[in-house]
C-alpha cells in the first residue's frame, strides 16, 4: 500500500500508478506539462518499466 498525499489514505501501488497517469494526462491536456512530467516520474519511480509513462516522458523531454 502507498500513502496517497491527496486523500490521506492508503491505496494499492497499481491504483496509485493509475491515478498518477490520469493526473499526468489531465496536466498535459491543460498545458501543465511540468506537473504532468512530475506525475510521470513518480510512476517510473514506482515501476521503472511502465511503458506508457516512459513514452509520455520521452515526448515531454
Q: Which pLDDT belongs to residue 39?
A: 92
Q: Within a 10 A sphere around the Cβ of 39, how many other Cβ atoms? A: 23
CA distance 61 to 56: 9
pLDDT, tens only, 8-48: 567 888 888 899 999 999 999 999 999 999 999 999 998 89
Q: Global pTM? A: 0.75
pLDDT, tens only, 44-58: 998 899 888 999 899
Amino acid at each position: 500500500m502507498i500513502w496517497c498525499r491527496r486523500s490521506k489514505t492508503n491505496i494499492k501501488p497499481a491504483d496509485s500508478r493509475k491515478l498518477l497517469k490520469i493526473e499526468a494526462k489531465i496536466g498535459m491536456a491543460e498545458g501543465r506539462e511540468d506537473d504532468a512530467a512530475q506525475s510521470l516520474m513518480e510512476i517510473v519511480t514506482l515501476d521503472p518499466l511502465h511503458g506508457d509513462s516512459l513514452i509520455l516522458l520521452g515526448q515531454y523531454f
